[in-house]
Amino acid sequence: FAPQDTQVPDSGLVRVEDDRTGMSEQSLKRAIVDNLHYGQGKDNYFATPYDYYMAIARSMRDRLIKRRIQTARTHIQEDSKVVYYLSAEFLMGRYTGNSLINLGIYERVRKVLRESGLELDDLLEKEHEPGLGNGGLGRLAACYLDSLATLEIPAVGYGIRYEFGIFEQEIRNGWQAERPDKWLSFGNAWEVSLPEYRTEVKFGGHTESYTDTKGRYQTNWIPEHTVFGIPYDTPIPGYGVNTVNILRLWKAESSNEFDLDAFNAGDYLGAVANKMFSENISKVLYPNDDTVQGKELRLEQQYFFVSCSLQDIIRRHIYHYNSLDNLHEKSAIQLNDTHPSIGIAELMRLLIDVHQMDWEQAWHITQNCFAYTNHTLLPEALERWSVNLFGRLLPRHLEIIYEINFRFLSEVRKRYPGDNERIARLSLIEGEGADKKVRMANLACVGSRKINGVAALHTKLLQQDVLRDFYELAPEKFINKTNGVTPRRWLLLGNPRLSNLITEKIGEAWITNLDELRKLEQFADDPQFRQTWREIKQANKQDLAAYIERKNHIQVDTNSLFDVQVKRLHEYKRQLLNVLHIITLYNRIKRNPNEDILPRTFIFGGKAAPGYFIAKLIIKLINSVAAVVNDDPSLEGRLKVAFLSNYNVSMSQQIYAAAELSEQISTAGKEASGTGNMKFALNGALTIGTLDGANVEIREEVGAENFFLCGLTTPEVYELKAKGYNPQEYYQSNSELQEVIRLIACGHFSDGDSQLFRPLLDSLLYNDKYMLFADYQSYIDTQDRVSQAYRQEDNWTRMSILNTARMGKFSSDRAISEYCKEIWHVEPVPVEFKEYSPEDM
């Protein structure tokens, strides 16, 4: 076994050989040189590593575009039903490595480059990661696009081409600081703009009614201004197939017509102001995860991309079928949370006002096109727009929503006569008078044929709690779709050492059928296999240790347990509970320097929303504890803490490969699913976790004996809350906990400043909304069990192998197959590859 051997197997997908877009070493080399020359204007003397990266990316894009065209033609020829995945976020990570993998030519390209003294993996790191998402929700959309293409499902991802993605995080003096993410400043080799498909979107103004020539009552929306959306397409290749779908993102540009009017009226500055308004719309991603900010620009963004996308769907449908009557038979539109749910009113408007359909037919089509995925139980994440703001920006949509509501509530009244409280809860409109709100989740439920949660527990809680009234009204609409992650990025690309071992032992079928990993179970007791398994984890840990040394200047012991919590910073995810454990261990060593404590490296990563003060203070605490712990000679290096700044998709790939313990410790009932939990276990980390989200199902799959369970269950959390939770009861009776809190309080980690962390301590001592104190002892006890287990190296390795072997269920291929069968009713459409010939011109 050689640690530097990180080869990825070729998938054997070689279907074309020509000089422009072929896959032979010869044509690859030729393409890269040509793109360097004609794309970057450089030769090997002037070219920088970035130029080489661009040349490789463009060479891959050329190969994908050929297949894209063939895919599009096949979908039209076969009258295929198409899935449209509408999402405000797509957290794609770097494209180029993934494209090489999916085309099956990673190793070949590496070899070709090596012959010229270039290292592929170094060049791939030059790609600026497109961070067009916050966290799990955006990354899920990206995994689903990969699986849709791999399963040969006709699909388009629709979203926003943000000029600035998720901010870049820096740590200054222990605090998070944000910098803009200028991901486009050196150009994007992967996108193709299609200005000929630009789409106009209206905003503001008022509505007028009139009677058309056939005597029908019609409404006209006279906007205050209009904006253009320009589509930018990125190819999405499936693994080992010819299908290449697209991700179509919209960029906002000012509409010239309007500017010209202003110019003609002599209002130069007014025209420029309008241009600025327009182009602001796709400027920046809102950096909140699991909370909403009811800002006007955010609603503008949502309406902008949804309107562009629906007009695009309708344009293509009419072009193909010359009618909209069968729109719902040929399109399945998925709403990724409520962020695109304005689409329900927009499709009604387009069908009724623009295409003169009657209400009943339009409503039938709309309800049968849409399905809605809910991603959260947190009340602060439920989108509600003030009716005032809504009516100002989208006057026609407010009328349509009132009409939908009127018709819906009359049905409800028939079913529950006199049950006014229920009617008020189901209404699309909340409250009275000046602060009335439009409830987007209610709109999404009423306008969709299916509603799904993202893990079994989450779906159950939706039915019992957040969406209970809708469940009682239409139980047949509700369905669970447990999340999944793509094994191509999260194992094959991210952990080449482990992938190679697996393929060597069980063949490569696991790459598209993750259940095949079960075949690893037979090696769980094989000493030789265990040894290799350990060596691979060790090699990955060394790589990560080198990264930590380079970035954080912290030396970590690669024989220590790598205990990792990487995810967005949020109180409910309880990074603070992890910190309480670290300080507990610190105190134990201080109390008894000879105590036999398992050496651990605590690794954290994650961004806090810029306006989320408490989350930012938790980052400061982690870094403050790190500063004290890492430098204390009396610990003899047994505890190290590293906060890795600017956690993103690329960094996460390396972290999952090196992790041994995965921290999934949210308060039960708060994390809808989690997807990091799946990526860790797939890479052989063991989980310490609560019975929350998909943890429940992970534990079921890997077996309770291979999972470290801690904390209250959801019913226990509810019960405790109901009877009146008092953190003091837990605090007063727990001396180890008291010691931890007092150490923070006395300023031990803040140079004697006893005020700095007061807001954290006060919230724990007097409120503790997320019940850290209630779970503290259980968490500590479980961590002690983890330490004992880690010392039994052979058994730990066995558990690690079994975790990987039993992750089949959490492939996004499984999730997407279920969506296809049970929600979208779409079938695979295989794409043949056809050679171009000069006669095709």
Q: Which residues pair with 661 in a beta bridge?
A: 563, 686
What gap in Å lies between CA 807 and CA 513, rounded to an integer?
11
Min CB(616)–ligand B1H separation in Å:
18
The structure tokens 């769980």 sit at 524
Return the residue of 55, 60, 120, 137 that touches ligand B1H, per CB under 6 A: 137
Provide the 8-state DSSP code for 434: G
104 binds ligand B1H per the rule CB under 6 A: no
Task: Give the binding range for ligand B1H (CB under 6 A) out of 246-254, 260-268, 362-370, 666-674.
Answer: 666-674
Q: For ligand B1H, which is the closer residue by CB, 127 or 163?
A: 163
Q: For ligand B1H, which is the closer residue by CB, 258 or 810?
A: 810
What gap in Å lies between CA 667 and CA 714, rounded to an integer?
8
Q: For ligand B1H, which is the closer residue by CB, 235 or 453?
A: 453
Return the residue of 36, 271, 344, 381 that touches ligand B1H, per CB under 6 A: 381
Cβ–Cβ under 8 Å, residues 655 and 643: no
The structure tokens 């005020």 sit at 755
Min CB(301)–ligand B1H separation in Å:
10
Is 568 annotated in the active site?
Answer: yes
Q: For ligand B1H, which is the closer residue by CB, 120 or 815?
A: 815
Q: For ligand B1H, which is the closer residue by CB, 59 or 301?
A: 301
Cβ–Cβ under 8 Å, residues 160 and 88: yes
286 binds ligand B1H per the rule CB under 6 A: yes
Single out the catalytic residue among 477, 573, 574, 814.
573
Return the residue of 238, 693, 711, 727 that touches ligand B1H, per CB under 6 A: 693
Min CB(380)–ligand B1H separation in Å:
9
Per-residue b/e over 574-607, b at no fewer than 16 CB within 10 Å? bbbbbbbbbbbbbeebeeeeeeebbbbbbbbbbb
289 binds ligand B1H per the rule CB under 6 A: yes
Q: For ligand B1H, which is the closer residue by CB, 609 or 710?
A: 609
Min CB(131)–ligand B1H separation in Å:
13
Single out the catalytic residue among 620, 679, 699, 806.
679
Is 111 annotated in the active site?
Answer: no
Single out the catalytic residue among 373, 675, 687, 690.
675
- Dihedral through CA 790, CA 791, CA 795, CA 801, nearest 10? 40
For 391, the 3-state DSSP assignment is helix
Backbone angles phi, psi at 705, to 5 degrees: -75, -10
Q: Which two tokens stand for residue 164?
A: 């600035």
667 binds ligand B1H per the rule CB under 6 A: no
Return the residue of 235, 238, 391, 674 that touches ligand B1H, per CB under 6 A: 674
Return the residue of 152, 233, 300, 671 that touches ligand B1H, per CB under 6 A: 671
Q: Which residues contact 694 (CB under 8 A, 6 or more apart)?
A: 454, 455, 482, 483, 673, 674, 675, 677, 678, 810
What gap in Å lies between CA 43 and CA 52, rounded to an integer?
10
Min CB(604)–ligand B1H separation in Å:
18
Q: For ligand B1H, which is the closer residue by CB, 136 or 223?
A: 136
Q: Which residues contact 671 (CB under 8 A, 6 or more apart)?
A: 572, 573, 664, 692, 693, 695
Min CB(376)–ligand B1H separation in Å:
4
Residue type, 625: V
What gap in Å lies between CA 559 and CA 600, rounded to an integer?
9
Single out the catalytic residue among 567, 607, 616, 670.
567
Is 248 annotated in the active site?
Answer: no
Is 679 annotated in the active site?
Answer: yes
140 binds ligand B1H per the rule CB under 6 A: yes
What gap in Å lies between CA 777 and CA 737, rounded to an integer?
8
Return the residue of 27, 309, 675, 804 that touches ligand B1H, per CB under 6 A: 675
What gap in Å lies between CA 242 and CA 418, rounded to an integer?
58
Q: For ligand B1H, which is the closer residue by CB, 129 or 692?
A: 692
Return the residue of 67, 68, 126, 375 that touches ligand B1H, per CB under 6 A: 375
Q: Which residues pair with 478 in a beta bridge?
A: 451
- Dihedral through CA 518, CA 522, CA 526, CA 528, nearest 10? -50
Q: For ligand B1H, which is the closer residue by CB, 154 or 484?
A: 484
For 709, the 3-state DSSP assignment is strand
Concatenating the DSSP letter of every residue in 157-192 gives EEEE--SB-SPEEEEETTEEEEE---TTTT--TT-E
Return the residue of 331, 482, 652, 673 that touches ligand B1H, per CB under 6 A: 673
For 232, the 3-state DSSP assignment is strand
Task: Give the binding range for ligand B1H (CB under 6 A) out of 134-142, 189-197, 305-313, 354-362.
Answer: 134-142
Is 573 annotated in the active site?
Answer: yes
By beta carbon distance, the residue nearest ligand B1H is: 136
Provide the 8-state DSSP code for 238: P
Kindly write out the interface string for residues 330-369 of this chain, putting x where it contacts ligand B1H by CB under 6 A and - elsewhere. -------x--------------------------------
Min CB(336)–ligand B1H separation in Å:
9
The structure tokens 């894209």 sit at 68
Q: How far is CA 800 from CA 673, 702, 806, in A?
A: 22, 10, 10
Single out the catalytic residue among 568, 607, 620, 638.
568
User: Counting runs of H as helices and runs of E as strands, what totals does the chain give?
Assistant: 33, 23
Q: How many residues bind ligand B1H (CB under 6 A)?
A: 21
Task: Give the binding range for ligand B1H (CB under 6 A) out of 192-200, 304-312, 557-565, 668-676.
Answer: 668-676
Find the helix or strand (DSSP H, E) in which 2 lies.
none
290 binds ligand B1H per the rule CB under 6 A: yes
136 binds ligand B1H per the rule CB under 6 A: yes
The structure tokens 């930018």 sit at 232
Return the residue of 40, 99, 376, 652 that touches ligand B1H, per CB under 6 A: 376
What gap in Å lies between CA 9 and CA 94, rounded to an integer?
20
Min CB(478)–ligand B1H separation in Å:
16
Neighbours of 788 (CB within 10 A): 9
672 binds ligand B1H per the rule CB under 6 A: yes
51 binds ligand B1H per the rule CB under 6 A: no
Single out the catalytic residue among 67, 126, 349, 375.
375
Q: For ligand B1H, which is the closer residue by CB, 289 or 663?
A: 289
Which spans of this chain sit near ligand B1H (rule: CB under 6 A)?
A: 134, 136-137, 140, 286, 288-290, 292, 337, 375-376, 381, 454, 483, 671-675, 693
| Catalytic center residues | 375, 567-568, 573, 675, 679
